[in-house]
Amino acid sequence: MGVFDGHGGPACAQVISKRLVDYIAAALLPIETLHKYIQQDPREALVDTFNNRVEILQELKILYERSFRQYLAELANLPHEGYNVPTALEQAIIKIDQDLSKEAVEPYKLNQVINPQTLSVALSGAVACVTHVDGPNLHIANVGDCNAVLGILTEDKEWIAKKITKEHNSENFDELKRIWNEHPDNERKTVIRRDRLLGELAPLRSLGDYRYKWPIEILMKVAVPLIGPKAIPANYHTPPYLTAKPDLYYHRLSTRDKFLILASDGLWDMMTPLQAVKLVGEHMKGKVFFNPLKLPRKNIQLGDINELLLHRKESLKSKPKDRNAATHLIRHAIGGTEYGVDHSRLAHLLSLSPDVSRMFRDDITVTVMYFDSEFLRQCPA
């Protein structure tokens, strides 16, 4: 599962969200299966995707299929060390980022043609937080300023939030040091200005955003004709300034781990990890009342049914408005006050036009993943 947060337009985020899962799945195939898969014609889909609403143009589909075929061939020639999730996640993210560049630049190198569609994908950007769950093994790859937060329930029925990821932004001093060390001392004041990369970009790692990666000569030939001189940032001397290399995290799930929240920075700007975990915890408790009442056993006495109904009536007070926990989080992020959700504020902020809304709230993407405690209980230590 993953969340993808675009900037500088939606193109990069849409394309990454559509293609990255296939790149990861291919990198996880055993070598024999990979060889068989390459020989398939037509090839079947590697993964079933959910919540996948973007449609890619036919000419881009053909181009992306060609890139994917080349990636499969490269994988087949790499030394295989067995099933290695962190390597697969990193390989796939770096490779798809390289392909975004190649798909925009190669036509120009071959016959001086600029494709505005592939160029808009390469020049816009996206941050991503992607997770892979296999039994009790949770791996997360993070590029940029999304976050993954684990909801843990203690034996005393208290909620704990465990923030697994670290954002790549100016609040992460290790990230600032990495960037300063990669460029000459005389750029120290310009490489990070106003808490942004080259004074422009808030996330300090991302996919796409080739305005901060390509050499000046390529920007002059490919980007400047389309978007003008502003295509080259001020103080652009020693590119690349940006990388898509993810940070990788591992967590072994236990029965106390109940869910994982993956969300873009729009959510974390509005609430703390603990607030988010408590809201999902409350939602878990209340959402059972969306289901019809089931009697616990046959031949139950009328008095017991009456007790069940009274208990259900009392509990309905905590029934959430939303069936979906991610929607529940967004409702509280946008409309939340210390006294609860202010629905007039929520309605106002949701109805602002796109050109104005950015001044009041960020876009928010949330996915909540639940873990099966009974399954985790049976996993060998």
Maximum C-alpha span of the chain: 83
Residues 168, 196 contacting (CB under 8 angstroms): no
DSSP code at position 263: E
Over the stretch 271-285, which tens digit does the pLDDT of each residue have?
999 999 999 998 888
pLDDT digits (tens, 9 = 90+) for 59-110: 899 999 999 999 999 999 988 777 799 999 999 999 999 999 999 999 988 8
Give residue 147's pLDDT band: very low, low, confident or very high (50, 70, 90). Answer: very high
The reported pLDDT for the residue numbered 353 is 83
Whether residue 310 has pLDDT greater than 90: no
Kindly state the percentage of the chain with pLDDT values over 70.
97
pTM of the model: 0.89
Q: Between these two residues, 310 and 319, which has the higher pLDDT value?
A: 310
C-alpha to C-alpha distance for 157 and 198, rounded to whole angstroms = 47
- Judge contact between 147 and 163, C-beta under 8 A: yes
3-state class of 246 per DSSP? Answer: coil
Q: Give the model confidence (pLDDT) of 225-249 as tens digits.
A: 988 999 999 999 999 999 999 999 9
